[in-house]
Structure 1
């Protein structure tokens, strides 16, 4: 079961969008580090503060390298499928998770789109149940709307049947 992949996957633009988002975060972090280095120089902080800043730079560089590798690995690991009974999700890099959500337990289905997702015509879908929520991070707009409608339809039909 470890290699089982469901029939649907994320939008092919997911790695690019994730890299853009991570790059923005990394740039903000580097600006903050630059300000801290300037403050260290201007106020002549103790030597140990300088070495802590050097350690933060090393961790930041490793994080920047990881931010270019991780999106592709996440894209490859994400898959989902649904029918009139269940929504099934499979994701994870180190710790693989398989989630099965019964249609009868779905309480709401929402779509979300930020500025980067808008540029690439994608949306995320959030599925909420009584005890948890699950998100599919990036689907093409048409697929996201279609999936949202079908999940809501399946959940409502099951509720009426009971």
Structure 2
């Protein structure tokens, strides 16, 4: 069965943001592993700490490398779509999911921009409902502001119709 993809793809620059985030994760994981190995060497000399650290480092590197290699697939399936009555979010490349948020359930919308998004001139939208919040990260700044304004106008129209 073919899983239908939503119409709006993220900008290609989001891949660079994901790569930078991946690099930060890798540096932190290796730093923690290095501290653990250093503590083994200087303080405890327990063999279980040494082997546990090696297992941690091995699994962490494998998981992060898989995460890095799957960035193109993640990009392909990370999409959104604004329809007449709802906003849809799609993600996942192995386990795909599409979430539809009815416009009348949206309470407010925030914009956010971390350092990596700012470097790539990208912005994220956070759509809040009573139950949870949904993120569209990696939109171009102008697109994010236009989409935010468009959603607000559509919410007003839906509220006026009710």
Q: TM-score range by the shorter chain?
A: over 0.9
- Look up the match of 1:35: 35
Is the Cα contact below 8 Å between 2:26 and 2:61 reproduced in 1? no
Pair 1:103 & 2:107 matched: no
Partners in 2 of 1:14 and 1:82 — Cα distance?
20
- Aligned mates of 2:157, 2:84 — CA distance in 1: 9
Q: After superposition, what is the alpha-carbon deviation per residue over 1:76-114, rounded to whole angstroms, capped at 9, x for unaligned?
A: 111221133121222112221111111111111111100
How far did 1:59 drift? Answer: 0.9
CA distance in 2, matches of 1:71, 1:11: 13
Q: Which is further off, 33-42 or 62-71? A: 62-71
Match of 1:142 in 2: 142
Structure 1: 4+ residue segments shifted above 6 A = none
Asked if the contact 1:19/1:67 (under 8 Å) is kept, the reply is: no
Inter-partner Cα distance in structure 2 for 1:76 and 1:87:
19
State how far apart, in whole Å, the 2-side matches of 1:100 and 1:50 are: 47
Task: Tell which deviates more after alignment, 94-103 or 117-126.
Answer: 94-103
Query: How many pairs are equivalent?
Result: 162
Say whether the 8 Å CA contact 2:78–2:91 is kept in structure 1.
yes
CA contact (8 A) 1:103 1:158 kept: yes
Computed over aligned residues only, the root mean square deviation of the Cα atoms, in angstroms, reads 1.5
What residue number does 2:117 align with? Answer: 117
Give the gaps of 5 or more residues in structure 2: none
Partners of 1:2 and 1:108 lie apart in 2 by: 34
Query: Could you state the TM-score of these two structures normalised by the residue count of structure 2?
Result: 0.92
| TM-score, structure 1 normalization | 0.92
Any unmatched runs of 5+ in structure 1? Answer: none
User: In 2, distance between residues paired with 1:60 and 1:78?
Assistant: 24
